[in-house]
């Protein structure tokens, strides 16, 4: 069988599996639709959280980003894992004990205000939509590159759009039917697919390049030519790039970006809501451990892949004759992931870095898309066909699982927080479930629209999602649990201040005045990616100061906070259901 | 033997204080490994290598070590809190 047949086979099989799981675990009540009835075992929830969290970006792009950024790529590795410590220690157990269904539920009840809830709903919907557009695009990219590679049009659409539509239909089916319960068990399946697909090529590569089957150790190892990292540093510098293990970003910026990603992770509604699906607070802690363990398997392997892939790439293309490049080169050239422009007409590929001119090296002739590091890696290293096909199935699993989780947050925010809690409190459970399903359907269509017509700034707005989550939700939730004195006025003004500050900074440098987006113009040398941290500090300060000068929260709220802090049994209540108040 | 009477207000406060001090300790480690070893002190640590590997120490902390420590921190917290929960609810006995 050839690669194409293998790919169709594996993708077809995994899709059938997801749909089968969704039918088996469909939701019957709003409780099951929103939080899977609150009865998911912690290890399964950990796995689902990991799949929910690791998106097309983690699977396809992250190793590539690190591969090109080298040391600076660390911000993503630490930022996107360190947030789980905050979740496990400061958020998840308390929010689980509070019960109910959503983050806006907590904000609305804790700050005894419909306005606080409303601000939280808007943030949740905005953050989730920016995120989901990128996922649908990811599905389209995998389809067009791996499955429709040699086709001009598919069903009358461009290959990438056809991919988006297929992805939409699959997600529509299992998110609308299964709700959180269906999504949880599909995500467990998807985690298994994606981690297998990520690890197999990594293990092959690690054995090939370092003689060690464990990639995490392999990239610190080496061969007869010395340690891999030293070879890569040397090779990079020879070609006019910076040394791989040395950073280019300033320490301040690295610090602020890492913090924004960490706190943003802990504040993302689609991650938090996963901890509402377990039985009780202690299960939420255990579940956070499992989630980080499953995430860490991929996140500690990614930097190893980056090193292997980068070394391989530099060795393969440098001064190679364009006539004699391996087959993968032209294949990926056709789908636009790699481009060669023979500027000096010598028929050889010169791949050089930013320092090339001052070092007297020829001009760079090769443009490489970072996604190639994962997508084409198995081919570059001449791995078997089924491994290449596996990467497509894994990329789709990663994109679909994240998209489904986000769509559920959007539909829950709409049906539960807006319709049930704000517009029409007398709606029946059946009616609410119907509204939730319709909202999920509409959200899929909108997400699909953005996947087909991506706003030119999808990549840019990711910084937005994390910055906004860090500067809005994170302080409001933390202070809501750890400070009884925090008042409605404090929390609302803090969230609004953090949001407006962060959003204006990002909008200014990304959209209004992108030409000034350099370190000289940044406030304290902090890039738009890292500004969420400062917005968060601002939110904390405003909330604490305003709270001091406004009347203390009513006694029932102080009682609510007490009940969130301690095990429910300490008050003679059952563990499990929502806090009574 | 399960206690039939509920924990007193003092026991509840003690539970919360212990929780807070564990949080403080664990988060201090969290900060030191990630922001300390991985960012602020990374250049200093890069002067050392993990023996027998190509890893500079600061680089390793930023791309591997911090993640392992995060996992250990959560594991410790899970253990500690389960124990505190038991003490609060069953007077320290299972």
Global ipTM = 0.89
How far is residue A525 from each of residues A128, A254, A498, measured CA to CA in Å? 29, 10, 19
B78 and A228: CB-CB below 8 Å?
no
Q: Helix A281-317 to helix A159-210 angle, to the nearest 10 degrees?
A: 80
Q: Give yes or no for B27 touching A (CB within 8 A).
A: yes
CB A325 within 8 A of CB A351: no
Of B26, B67, B81, the CB nearest to A81: B67
Q: How far apart are CA A579 and CA A422, in angstroms?
A: 20
Partners of B27 on chain A (C-beta within 8 Å) are 85, 89
B74 and A285: CB-CB below 8 Å?
yes
Q: How far apart are CA A157 and CA A350, in angstroms?
A: 36
CB A509 within 8 A of CB A526: no
Instruction: Compute the nearest-CA separation of B44 from chain A (Å).
Output: 12
Burial of A360 (0-12, 13-18, 19+ CB in 10 A): exposed
Q: What single DSSP character describes residue A550?
A: S
- Which residue, A63, A507, A531, is CA-closest to A253? A531
B55 and A571: CB-CB below 8 Å?
no
Instruction: Compute the nearest-CA separation of B82 from chain A (Å).
Output: 7
CA A353 to chain centre: 29
A288 and B73: CB-CB below 8 Å?
no
Partners of A245 on chain B (C-beta within 8 Å) are 46, 56, 59
Q: How far apart are CA A564 and CA A516, in angstroms?
A: 46
Q: How far apart are CA A530 and CA A256, in angstroms?
A: 5
Report the number of secondary-structure helices (H) and strands (E) in chain A. Answer: 25, 4
Residue A175 has which token pair?
């998110």
Residue A106 has which token pair?
């907590």
Q: Give yes or no for B15 touching A (CB within 8 A).
A: yes
Residue A151: the pLDDT is 65
CB A528 within 8 A of CB A502: no
b/e per residue A476-491 (b: at least 16 CB within 10 A): bbbbbbeebebbbbbb
Residue A144 has which token pair?
């067009």
pTM of the model: 0.86
Partners of A72 on chain B (C-beta within 8 Å) are none
Instruction: Compute the nearest-CA separation of B34 from chain A (Å).
Output: 7
Candidates A50, A54, A78, A224: best to mutate against B (most CBs of B within 10 A) is A78
CB A365 within 8 A of CB A350: yes
String of DSSP letters for A482-536: H-TT--HHHHHHHHHHHHHHHHHHHHIIIII-GGG-STTTSGGG--TTTHHHHHH
Residue A389 has which token pair?
């096909």
Q: Give yes or no for A569 touching B (CB within 8 A).
A: yes
Three-state SS at A226 = strand
Residue A581: the pLDDT is 40
Helix (H) or strand (E) holding A6: helix A3-24
Partners of B89 on chain A (C-beta within 8 Å) are 567, 569-570
Q: Could you tell me what percent of chain B has a pLDDT over 90?
A: 28
CB A321 within 8 A of CB A340: no
Residue A458: the pLDDT is 52
User: Does the pLDDT value for residue B70 go beyond 90?
Assistant: yes
Instruction: Compute the nearest-CA separation of B93 from chain A (Å).
Output: 15
CB B56 within 8 A of CB B64: no
Question: How far is the first Cα of chain A from the last one, in angstroms, to the nearest whole number?
Answer: 63
Q: How many CA atoms lie within 13 A of A309 on its CB side?
A: 31
Q: How far apart are CA A272 and CA A4, in angstroms?
A: 38
CB A474 within 8 A of CB A263: yes
A85 and B39: CB-CB below 8 Å?
no
CA angle A268, A281, B83 (to 5 degrees): 130
Partners of B7 on chain A (C-beta within 8 Å) are 570
Using a CB cutoff of 8 Å and minimum separation of 24, what contacts does A339-346 make? A339/A366, A339/A367, A340/A365, A340/A366, A340/A367, A341/A365, A341/A366, A341/A367
Three-state SS at B94 = coil
User: Which segments of B1-94 does DSSP mark as H helices, in order?
Assistant: 9-31, 42-45, 57-60, 66-90
Residue A490 has which token pair?
């404090």
B23 and A90: CB-CB below 8 Å?
yes
A74 and B6: CB-CB below 8 Å?
no
- Which residue, A408, A434, A461, is CA-closest to A183? A408
Three-state SS at A554 = coil
Strand-pair partners of A321: A348
Three-state SS at A319 = coil
Partners of B12 on chain A (C-beta within 8 Å) are 562, 566, 570
Q: Give yes or no for A571 touching B (CB within 8 A).
A: yes
Instruction: Compute the nearest-CA separation of B19 from chain A (Å).
Output: 10
B23 and A73: CB-CB below 8 Å?
no
pLDDT per position in chain A (581 positions), as tens? Answer: 777 888 888 888 988 888 888 888 776 677 777 766 667 778 888 898 888 888 877 888 888 888 888 888 888 889 889 999 998 899 888 888 887 777 888 888 888 888 888 888 888 887 787 777 777 777 777 777 667 666 666 666 777 778 788 888 888 877 777 777 788 888 888 898 889 988 988 898 888 888 888 888 878 787 777 787 778 887 887 887 888 878 777 888 888 888 988 998 888 888 888 887 777 888 888 888 999 999 999 999 999 988 888 888 888 877 778 777 777 787 777 777 788 888 887 877 888 877 877 877 778 888 887 777 787 778 877 788 888 888 888 888 888 888 888 888 888 887 777 777 777 777 777 787 788 888 888 888 888 887 777 655 555 566 678 888 889 889 999 998 998 888 888 999 998 899 889 888 887 877 777 777 777 777 787 787 888 899 999 999 999 999 999 888 888 888 888 888 888 777 776 655 554 44
Q: Give yes or no for A386 touching B (CB within 8 A).
A: no
Cβ count near A572 (within 10 Å): 10
- Which residue, A454, A410, A404, A435, is CA-closest to A172? A404
CB A68 within 8 A of CB A370: yes
Partners of B38 on chain A (C-beta within 8 Å) are 74, 78, 258
Mean confidence (pLDDT) of chain B: 83
- Which residue, B29, B94, B58, B51, is CA-closest to A245? B58
């Amino acid at each position: 069988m050839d690669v194409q047949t293998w790919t169709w086979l594996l993708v077809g099989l995994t899709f059938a599996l997801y749909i089968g799981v969704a039918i088996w675990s469909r939701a019957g009540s709003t409780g099951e639709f929103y939080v899977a009835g609150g009865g998911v075992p912690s290890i399964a929830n950990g796995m689902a959280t990991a799949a929910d969290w690791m998106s097309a970006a983690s699977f396809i792009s992250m190793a590539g980003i690190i591969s090109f950024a080298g040391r600076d790529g660390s911000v993503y590795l630490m930022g996107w894992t360190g947030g789980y410590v905050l979740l496990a220690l400061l958020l998840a157990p308390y929010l689980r004990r509070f019960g109910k269904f959503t983050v806006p539920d907590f904000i609305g009840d804790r700050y005894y205000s419909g306005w606080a809830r409303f601000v939280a709903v808007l943030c949740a919907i905005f953050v989730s939509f920016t995120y989901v557009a990128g996922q649908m695009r990811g599905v389209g990219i995998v389809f067009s590159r791996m499955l429709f590679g040699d086709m001009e049009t598919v069903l009358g659409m461009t290959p990438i759009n056809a991919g988006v539509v297929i992805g939409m239909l699959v997600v529509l089916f299992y998110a609308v039917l299964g709700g959180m319960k269906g999504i949880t068990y599909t995500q467990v399946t998807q985690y298994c697919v994606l981690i297998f697909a990520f690890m197999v090529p990594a293990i092959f590569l690690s054995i090939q390049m370092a003689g060690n089957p464990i990639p995490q150790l392999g990239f610190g190892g080496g061969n007869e030519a010395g340690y891999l990292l030293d070879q890569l540093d040397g090779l990079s510098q020879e070609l006019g790039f910076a040394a791989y293990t040395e950073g280019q970003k300033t320490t301040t910026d690295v610090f602020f970006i890492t913090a924004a990603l960490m706190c943003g992770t802990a504040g993302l509604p689609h991650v938090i809501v996963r901890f509402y699906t377990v039985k009780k607070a202690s299960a939420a802690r255990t579940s956070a451990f499992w989630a980080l363990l499953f995430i860490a398997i991929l996140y500690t392997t990614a930097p190893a892949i980056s090193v292997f892939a980068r070394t391989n790439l530099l060795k393969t293309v440098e001064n190679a004759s364009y006539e004699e490049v391996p087959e993968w080169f032209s294949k990926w050239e056709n789908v636009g992931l790699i481009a060669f422009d023979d500027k000096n007409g010598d028929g050889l590929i010169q791949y050089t870095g930013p320092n090339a001119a001052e070092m007297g090296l020829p001009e760079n002739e090769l443009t490489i898309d970072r996604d190639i590091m994962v997508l084409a890696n198995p081919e570059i290293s001449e791995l078997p066909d089924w491994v290449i096909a596996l990467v497509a199935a894994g990329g789709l699993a990663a994109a679909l699982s994240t998209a489904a989780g986000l769509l559920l947050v959007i539909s829950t925010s709409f049906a539960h927080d807006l319709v049930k809690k704000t517009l029409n409190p007398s709606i029946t459970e059946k009616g609410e479930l119907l509204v939730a399903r319709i909202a999920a359907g509409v959200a899929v269509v909108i997400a699909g629209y953005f996947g087909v017509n991506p706003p030119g700034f999808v990549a840019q707005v990711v910084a937005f999602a994390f910055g906004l989550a860090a500067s809005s939700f994170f302080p409001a939730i933390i202070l809501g649990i750890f400070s009884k004195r925090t008042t409605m006025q404090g929390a609302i003004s803090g969230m609004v201040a953090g949001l407006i500050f962060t959003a204006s900074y990002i909008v200014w440098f990304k959209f209004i005045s992108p030409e000034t987006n350099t370190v000289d113009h940044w406030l304290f040398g902090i890039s738009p990616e890292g500004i969420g941290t400062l917005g968060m500090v601002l939110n904390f300060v405003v909330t604490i100061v305003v709270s001091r000068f406004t009347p203390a929260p009513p006694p029932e709220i102080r009682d609510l906070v007490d009940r969130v802090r301690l095990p429910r049994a300490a008050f003679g209540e059952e563990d499990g259901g929502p806090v009574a108040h | 033997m399960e206690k039939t009477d509920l924990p007193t207000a003092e026991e509840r406060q003690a539970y919360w204080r212990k929780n807070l001090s564990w949080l403080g300790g664990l988060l201090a480690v969290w900060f030191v490994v990630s922001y300390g070893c991985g960012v602020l002190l990374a250049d200093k640590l890069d002067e050392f290598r993990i023996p027998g590997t190509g890893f500079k120490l600061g680089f390793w902390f930023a791309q591997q070590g911090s993640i392992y420590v995060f996992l250990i921190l959560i594991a410790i917290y899970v253990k500690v809190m389960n124990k505190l929960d038991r003490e609060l609810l069953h007077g320290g006995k299972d």
